[in-house]
A and B are shown apart, each in its own frame.
Chain A
């Protein structure tokens, strides 16, 4: 039985998914903070939010890279 492979898959899934979700959720939170009325530096928060979304996008692109066999060879 391939128990080790099963564990690896489970672990990789957990790490990948929680990374993406954490980044995106932080982005969402920062957007919400930037939109607050009495926010001293909305610009900074907003750019941080975009940074989070950008990292998230990079993670998705990495996923694409994995899917397409043309790249992985």
Chain B
């Protein structure tokens, strides 16, 4: 049972990684600041580093939502198993739909459902639930959206230049924001690594303590940290391209200045919240930022029906993961056969969704329409010259500096990637 839970926890970490690549990397990919493959490599490395950086572990992952301890209930490996199952399945479903949704909320939902089914209604602390999950879910996108809106306005106001006499536009070099995006998105990726890998480490440690193989009150063992870091990095590297598509081009059209404003707001919101004690979900902050920056630029439309879909996804996260968690908990309570059935059904569902996704594969080559910008600048130079000579120049410069910055981390990647890129460009061409 313990081994099974650890395997499941690591798989959850993996889904968490690929679900959340989009938070950090969707906008730089969309503006062409970083090439898609380079972006996920960078994010994966930073997640790996981030997971090792922080050794402070939350004693309980559920953070008091489930009453525990002497006066409450004991969380058993069975409940964690059921909770993880719910979280993983919901992560897979939202990934299939390309919806960015909070992995932590899915985990909370799964654990709550499992606890209710396995122990009873009294095991859930409703007030903590409201305070830790529901209110942040409302305010995270609002705060991030507002800040991103203000920042986008600021960025455009400060860089807008007009000739005082003729009123014609002067060069604005807004492409310069691309370079900045690399740093801000890296910050988001790093913050994600320090936060999210911790959850899985906490779970595994909890299970080990519950099983009696580790002394209570001790931190995670090194192999646990290493395994979690690796799992989240591999997950990030495999990239949730469907979600990147939604965040990068499904919500609104993202320009470099907007992307920079959105990334900065995301990074500040996450840092501020994790240091001032009002935890906000990375995913919800990032989505809110993208929407806010979409509203901040004149001439951009926000696709509100997509926003609605995402909001509905968030509403369902808790109950849906909870129901799966509850069902699994009921199955598991019947004994070993139940555990086997749950494990097999879960694996089957995940495999089914994986193969179903192959029908309309979304990969680095077609994740974001604008994604070609990263590669397109090469041939866009000619095209853009016709449109705006100055703009093209700024782009090329930004591209050059972007490359100079990006190559150190991406060296092994870029070699193997060259043919793939050519492929992507070709297929794009034929599609047109």
Chain A positions within 8 Å of B, measured between CB atoms, are 1-2, 5-6, 8-10, 12-14, 16-18, 20-22, 24-29, 31-33, 35-36, 53, 56-57, 60, 63-64, 66-70
The answer to whether A24 and B273 touch (CB under 8 A), given A13-B147, A18-B150, A32-B172, is no
Contacts of A22 in B (CB 8 A): 154, 158
A-B contact pairs, 25 of them (CB 8 A): A1-B131, A9-B276, A10-B143, A13-B265, A13-B273, A14-B150, A17-B150, A17-B151, A17-B265, A17-B267, A20-B264, A28-B173, A28-B174, A28-B177, A29-B172, A32-B170, A32-B172, A33-B161, A36-B170, A56-B180, A60-B183, A66-B275, A67-B53, A67-B54, A69-B54
Which single member of A9, A14, A21, A68 contacts B278 (CB below 8 Å)?
A9
> B293 CB to closest chain A CB, in angstroms?
10
CB-based closest 10 A-B pairs: A25-B158, A16-B268, A12-B272, A32-B173, A17-B268, A21-B151, A5-B278, A28-B176, A13-B269, A17-B265
Which single member of B183, B184, B268, B277 contacts A13 (CB below 8 Å)?
B268
A1–B250 alpha-carbon span in the complex (Å): 35
> A56 CB to closest chain B CB, in angstroms?
7
B264, A31: Cβ atoms closer than 8 Å: no
Which single member of A12, A20, A63 contacts B276 (CB below 8 Å)?
A12
> B155 CB to closest chain A CB, in angstroms?
5
> A61 CB to closest chain B CB, in angstroms?
10
A2, B131: Cβ atoms closer than 8 Å: yes
Interface size on B, residues (CB 8 A): 50
A5, B176: Cβ atoms closer than 8 Å: no
The chain B residue sitting closest to A6, CB to CB, is B278
A2–B187 alpha-carbon span in the complex (Å): 27
Which single member of A8, A26, A31 contacts B173 (CB below 8 Å)?
A31
Contacts of B159 in A (CB 8 A): 25, 28-29, 32
Which single member of B53, B171, B271 contacts A32 (CB below 8 Å)?
B171
CB-CB contacts of B44-68 with A at 8 A, as 1s and 0s? 0000001001111000000000000
Apart from A17-B151, A25-B159, what 6 extra A-B contacts exist at CB < 8 Å?
Answer: A2-B131, A9-B143, A17-B265, A35-B173, A64-B190, A68-B53
A20–B265 alpha-carbon span in the complex (Å): 9
A42–B147 alpha-carbon span in the complex (Å): 33
B187, A64: Cβ atoms closer than 8 Å: yes
The chain A residue sitting closest to B130, CB to CB, is A1
> A10 CB to closest chain B CB, in angstroms?
5
The chain A residue sitting closest to B194, CB to CB, is A67
> A26 CB to closest chain B CB, in angstroms?
6
A27–B55 alpha-carbon span in the complex (Å): 37
**A interface SS class:** helix
> B240 CB to closest chain A CB, in angstroms?
23
Q: Does any Cβ of A come within 8 Å of B354's Cβ?
A: no
B54, A66: Cβ atoms closer than 8 Å: no
Which single member of A17, A24, A33, A57 contacts B177 (CB below 8 Å)?
A24
> A31 CB to closest chain B CB, in angstroms?
5
A8–B147 alpha-carbon span in the complex (Å): 13
Contacts of B273 in A (CB 8 A): 9, 13
The chain A residue sitting closest to B140, CB to CB, is A9
**Contacts of B169-199 to chain A: CB distance below 8 A:** 170-174, 176-177, 180, 183-184, 187, 190-191, 194
A5–B277 alpha-carbon span in the complex (Å): 7
Contacts of B170 in A (CB 8 A): 32, 36
A13, B144: Cβ atoms closer than 8 Å: yes
Contacts of A13 in B (CB 8 A): 143-144, 147, 265, 268-269, 272-273
Which single member of B155, B174, B269 contacts A9 (CB below 8 Å)?
B269
> B393 CB to closest chain A CB, in angstroms?
9
Which single member of A6, A8, A21, A32 contacts B155 (CB below 8 Å)?
A21
**Contacts of B191-211 to chain A: CB distance below 8 A:** 191, 194
The chain B residue sitting closest to A25, CB to CB, is B158
Pick the most buried of A10, A21, A31, A60: most chain B CB atoms within 10 A of its CB. A21
B183, A57: Cβ atoms closer than 8 Å: yes
A67, B271: Cβ atoms closer than 8 Å: yes
Q: Does any Cβ of A come within 8 Å of B261's Cβ?
A: yes
B276, A8: Cβ atoms closer than 8 Å: yes
Q: Does any Cβ of A come within 8 Å of B312's Cβ?
A: no
A36–B256 alpha-carbon span in the complex (Å): 21
Q: Does any Cβ of A come within 8 Å of B18's Cβ?
A: no
Q: Does any Cβ of A come within 8 Å of B291's Cβ?
A: no
Contacts of B95 in A (CB 8 A): none
CB-CB contacts of B24-62 with A at 8 A, as 1s and 0s? 000000000000000000000000001001111000000
